[in-house]
Structure formats: structure tokens, C-alpha cells
Structure 1
Amino acid sequence: MTDTQDAAEVTEVEESAPARPEEEGDIAADYLEELLDIADIDGDIDIEVRSGRTYISIVQEEGDESALRELIGHDGDGLDALQELTRLAVLTQTGNRSRLILDILDYRKGRSAQLKKIAEDAAERARDSGENIPLEAMSAYERKQVHDFIAELGLHSESDGEGSRRHVVVSAA
């Protein structure tokens, strides 16, 4: 093998090696800081790694939060889109898909509490009626949370539907 072949093989291995969560966080934070600067929006970025997954939060210590709330969008649609763009920025720089989670003004934290309540109510209705209970359409991340909540309650759930209509169906069996 020539030195050029060796270098090419090393490059391929380096490009396919998964990014460290800390590296993902740094890339994501740089991308988001630049975006916030371009949009002239104030916000602080916090990076946390939990269970090997990167969590990025945009927070505001003081002042008007309305611009950040607009980023969240209706039902978190803007937040989901910004999360995907941030994941693409990480992919572009590392060559690896990212599973980072982006939150703005603790929206996801509040939504998680809502999802838990929705899951508990659906579980109760499924137990009482013995029927399948379809829930509202939600993102893959939210569906995963609901599936976890339902499993903790000892019931079964599955996703149904396509695209933006994909939703969780809860059953007692």
C-alpha cells in the first residue's frame, strides 16, 4: 500500500467515527450563536450531556423573551425545525448524524409535563373502556416520550399514520 492509500483509509475512518457529544455541543452552540446574532436575538446557550446525548438550551436571563418565543413557533414547530437545522450543521461538520435535543425557554420541559398528563389520561380511558385511544399527531421526539410514559404505566402503545399525521395509539392490551 502507498502512503496515499494509507492516508485515504485513515481519513475515511476518521470521517465515519461518531462525534463526541461535547464536540456536537460545541458545533451546535457555534451555529446557534451565529444564527441568533444574525437575527439580532438575545439568548444564552447552555450545553449539557446526559446519557451520551447532547442537550442544548437557549435561555434568557433578563429582558424580553418574545423573540425567543417566536423561534419556538406554534406548537413547537419552529423549535423542531431549528433543531433539525442544528443537527444538519453538526452533520455537515462531522459527517455524522446527531441526535441532539434543542430546547428554548424550557418549552420541551413544559411540554413533557403536558405529554405525561396526556398519556396518563389516555391510559385511564383505555383501561376503563378497553378500546384503543388515538392521541393527537406529534413529533417523533414527543411520540417517544409518550411511548415511554405508557410503558411505565404498564400499557401498550404504537405509532400510526404518516408524516405530520403520525400519532400514538394507546391500548390496554
Structure 2
Amino acid sequence: MEVKTLEKKGKSVDEAIKAALDELGCEIDDVMIEVIEEPTKGLLGFVGKKPAVVRVTMREKPEEEARQIVEDILNRIKIDYKINRVEYENGRIRINIIGKDMGLLIGRKGETLNSLQFIVGLIMNRKRDEKVRIILDVEDYRKKREQSLEALALRLSDKVKKTRKNVVMRPMSSQERRIVHTALQGDPQVTTYSMGDEPNRKVVISLKK
């Protein structure tokens, strides 16, 4: 996305900034401001009088920046794709990609998709004060996976309640483990914790003591 930048003049710095904001149609929190020249009154208030000059640049919205990064990467590897959904909420950006041969983009057990997600996150957050979490999805692969894991977590929690024995799930990524923890965190009868070392770290579901 092309970043919009304006230079504006005014009797004061505030007046110049207001003129720029009015033209851009945005609020002051949406822009970066650089004062090029302070106003001067000049000799006797008239001769050599100069206005204030400011340069105002719109901040790129996080979701638009993330979309651009993903597009740049996918265009380089020349894959047939389309970004059909970008959602931004509570510091989390979810991007869903559709197209041909999406299995190549997902990779074995989602490994290729995870690597791409990691790279996009690094690029996005390298110069940001407030970090954002990137979730890349391909034809809702992750969303379907989340729903499957949530259903599995509920079934296993029922098993723990009936047998009163711990259940150790198979090794999962940190993102998958987070889904299980979140799915069961409101259950008053069971608790979850992780054990083991990466990449073989597992979630344990047990009765609360």
C-alpha cells in the first residue's frame, strides 16, 4: 500500500497539522508528524514573515502492513493465491489465503505454513513497540484444526473425569497447545499443563485437586 504523505503550511504548527489531517481525513493518532519549519514573525511583523511547514505521514494500519508482507513473499515464490480475509482484533491479525495447490503452502502437518507465519511475524514486529500476533491460515485449515482440537480436548477431559486418570496428548506445537489450554481453562474439574521439551512437548489433562 502506498503511504500518504503531505506537506502543509499554516500560520502556526497546529494550523498546518489541522490542514493536513482535514485533507487526509484522519485523526492525529493515525499519523506521524515532522515539523519542517517553525513560523517566524519577520521584521516588524511583516517583512520576511514565514509560515509553519509540517510533513504529515499516515501510519499504515497493522492489518494492511501484514497483508502487504504476505503478498510480497507469495509473489516471490510465484504461487497462485488470493487473500480473501484479513481480520484484526485485540493485537491479533488473522489472514486467510485461498487458491490452487494450497497443500504446498500448508506443508507436512502445517510446517510450511508455520514457517511462513513465523517469518511474517518477525518482519511485522521488528520495528514495532506494540507487538502483534500473526495467524496465517490457508482455506481455513487452522480454523478447522482449532475446532478439531477443541472437540478432542473436550472428549479427553470427559475421559479424565470418568477414569480419574491423567491423559497425555500427542506432541503439539505451542499454538496447538494454547488451543487445548484455552478450551479447558473454564472447566472447574480439570486442569492442563505442558510437559517435555520441544518439539515433543505435550499437554497433560488432569483432575483438579
TM-score range for the pair, normalised by the shorter chain length: 0.7 to 0.9
Structure 1 portions without partners, runs of 5+: 1-13, 15-21
Quick check: 1:69–1:105 contact (8 Å CA) kept in 2? Answer: no
Q: Deviations over 1:42-77 (max 9, x none)?
A: 2222311123421111123xxxx22x2111111111
- RMSD across aligned C-alpha pairs, in angstroms? 1.9
Asked if residue 50 in structure 1 is aligned to residue 89 in structure 2, the reply is yes
Asked if residue 69 in structure 1 is aligned to residue 69 in structure 2, the reply is no
Question: Larger % of helix: which?
Answer: 1
* Distance (whole Å) between structure 1 residues aligned to residue 105 and residue 130 of structure 2: 26
Question: Larger % of strand: which?
Answer: 2
* Distance (whole Å) between structure 2 residues aligned to residue 73 and residue 152 of structure 1: 33
| Counterpart amino acid of residue 98 in structure 2 | V
Q: Secondary structure of 1:44's match? A: strand
Quick check: 1:54–1:100 contact (8 Å CA) kept in 2? Answer: yes
Name the residue aligned to 1:166.
Answer: 201
Give the structure, 1 or 2, with the largest relative contact order (CA under 8 Å, sep 6 or more). Answer: 1
| Counterpart amino acid of residue 38 in structure 1 | R
| Counterpart amino acid of residue 47 in structure 1 | V
Q: Given the superposition, is the C-alpha separation of residues 85 and 96 from structure 1 closer, same or farther in structure 2, using an over 3 Å criterion?
A: farther
**1:104-115 matches, cutoff 5 A:** 104-115=138-149
Q: Identify which of 71, 84, 99 aligns with 2:133.
A: 99
Give the TM-score normalised by structure 2: 0.65
| Counterpart amino acid of residue 92 in structure 2 | R
Decide which structure has the larger Cα Rg and report it: 2
Q: Identify which of 191, 202, 208 aligns with 1:156.
A: 191
